[in-house]
Amino acid sequence: MEEILITESLRNNLQNLINNENANKEKTGIITGSILDGTIVCLGCSLTDKHLPVGIQVVGAFFQMLPDEVTEILIQQTLENYMTNYEELSDIEYGILLFVSRIPSSKDINIEARLYSPSALTIEDSVPITVSDTILQKFLLLRARGEIELSFEIADNEKEFQGLSLTSAIEKLQSVFSDSSTFHLRDSLLLLLKNDQMIDGLTCCNLKDFVETSDNYQRQKQIKKQIFDLSKQEVLNFDILLQTTGDQQNFTPVIHYQRKVFQSVTIPLFLDVMAVVQETLPISKLVNMLMDGIVHQLDEIKLCLLKFQKGTEYFTPVPYYFWPITSNYPISITYPHGLNDKQLESYRKELHQQLLLPLDKPLLRLSNKKIFINDLNEPYLTNTHVGLASSGIQNGKPSIIWGTYTYHHYMQDRIDDNGWGCAYRSLQTIISWFRHQGYTDVAIPTHKEIQQALVTLGDKPSSFVGSKKWIGSQEVSYCLNHFIGVTSKIMFVSSGSELANKGRELSSHFSTQGTPIMIGGGMLAHTILGVDFNEGSGELKFLILDPHYTGSEDISIIQNKGWCGWKDPSFWDASAFYNLCMPQRPIEI
């Protein structure tokens, strides 16, 4: 093997594990990924092989130490453990060991890779590492969904019996889906069946020839100019069907009939299997992989039912997908319907620890669930800064908000706020950020709701509601606290020219808080998404999202005309004073 491939985000995740005080302190874990044309592609790290999409598997292990600090016994124990728990390792010729260590006097890391043979449990020579995200362009997103009912017998105060009865019912469903699943590609006439010779020779790349992309995808795809983002790709959707007739055979049916009085429960099951597969994967293999994905999801559904069972009461298990900004693929979590985020907090903490996710950010709340482009019905553009060229500052250090926001600007929502609504729109953008990051599920407030909130708080008279009066950064901070319970720091700047000296403070805000900033002054309001700052020279540029835009949701116009772009300090009015509302991110999961 000439090299292994590691994505930039995986490298960053491993670096954060070493440097971040809020990160898990595990010394070893698994590496997940795929094998592409004989090359190991490392995509993620975790402590569990659960919650992975179809097509992503365990490809090795990582150690947070130097190779000579790891004893031969520890390595052998680790390999034997992975061989016992992760059967897919036996299917690959080589796995990978990543040794991660901090470079002295630096927060950067060094990664050394060694090959090992799963069959022989032997460690081979080191292998070169290439860090690149371009490999993600060779993967496709597929999704198969369906519904079925689960029925099983229950008995009062006999939890063990109920567990056995539930397990037996799940196993029967697994057997049915393993033998009789059929997958219909939506918006096409294509049916995928097990052992179907009609699909021999076709690869997953050919699936795109059978179906057209959605309008939402056509509208959003312009945003991907320079950066490929797998999470924003069109998903090929399948419906899960069951064959009601099998192979034609001559047999006499035998029916066993037994009269019995008993209690039972029937629960609707929502199957939702996600796959991240290579374009060159044969479709014949895809069918078997999706079937295996259904079987694994039914196991997750069973565990969810048992974990949250209350006597003879069961919560309906619902699979959700989450795509944290640190991940290269979606994460599957099955939650019980009817329990809220507070009731699931301890379970989410377990998941964060198992999946090596940050312990100070909400990444797996229900409001964090991934909405794929096919299902997108939001009329606003997201992350309009993605794809912009760099600021042009030599040796600068960009500090930009993390996560997702929606762009709110003049004339949206059938409201003519041209000339007075810029701060309202900036507030809406900020609240959208907190919504997308899972801190709140409060709806984006309208202009009238914002005005009413300020009246309720005693900041404005009742005549303010329905007016075209401006608001400033102080009012924005009041509303953030009123609507979503978020506090803010206010930075006062005596003149626009003084903003050129605020690079260090603003860089610290985006590095530690990561939230958009509303800035008001000179009768105008803007949203600051980040800064690029050279500590040596003091050179500074601001990443500005301008709410004064009045056009359609056209990302090319928004970026090319500077409605979202890098601005130097001369952008600000030197004769005006400015107030900056800097929302503080809650520390929670």
Q: Which residues are catalytic?
A: 422, 546, 548
- Could you list the beta-strand ranges (E) of 513-588: 517-521, 524-533, 540-545, 564-567, 578-583
Task: Determine contact, residues 33/40, Cβ cutoff 8 Å.
Answer: yes
**What backbone phi and psi angles, to 5 degrees, belong to 545?**
-110, 115
- Cα-only R_g, the chain: 27
| 489, two tokens | 């720091």
Q: Is the dihedral of CA 426, 431, 436, 439 positive or negative?
A: positive
**What backbone phi and psi angles, to 5 degrees, belong to 549?**
-65, 135
Task: Determine contact, residues 491/506, Cβ cutoff 8 Å.
Answer: no
| 520, two tokens | 């008001």
H/E run at residue 29: strand 28-36
Residue 552 Cα distances to 217, 379, 381, angstroms:
16, 10, 10
| 581, two tokens | 């509302």
Task: Determine contact, residues 358/20, Cβ cutoff 8 Å.
Answer: yes
H/E run at residue 216: helix 215-220
Upper half-sphere CA count for residue 179 (Cβ side, 13 Å)? 10
H/E run at residue 291: helix 283-307
Nearest C-alpha neighbor of 233 from the set 201, 288, 274: 274
Exposed / middle / buried, residue 330 (Cβ in 10 Å: 0-12, 13-18, 19+):
buried
Exposed / middle / buried, residue 374 (Cβ in 10 Å: 0-12, 13-18, 19+):
middle
Q: State how beta strands 4-6 and 39-46 pair.
A: parallel
What is the CB neighbour count within 10 angstroms for residue 498? 15
**What backbone phi and psi angles, to 5 degrees, belong to 211?**
-140, 145
Count Cβ neighbours within 10 Å for each residue of 91-117 and write b for 16 or more, e otherwise.
Answer: ebebbbbbbbbbeeeeeebebebbbbe
Upper half-sphere CA count for residue 41 (Cβ side, 13 Å)? 25
Nearest C-alpha neighbor of 401 from the set 387, 386, 390: 386
Q: How far apart are CA 482 and CA 476, in angstroms?
A: 10
Which residues are within 8 A (CB) of 109 and not within 5 positions of it... i.e. 6 or more apart? 11, 14, 15, 18, 100, 101, 102, 103
Task: Determine contact, residues 488/582, Cβ cutoff 8 Å.
Answer: yes
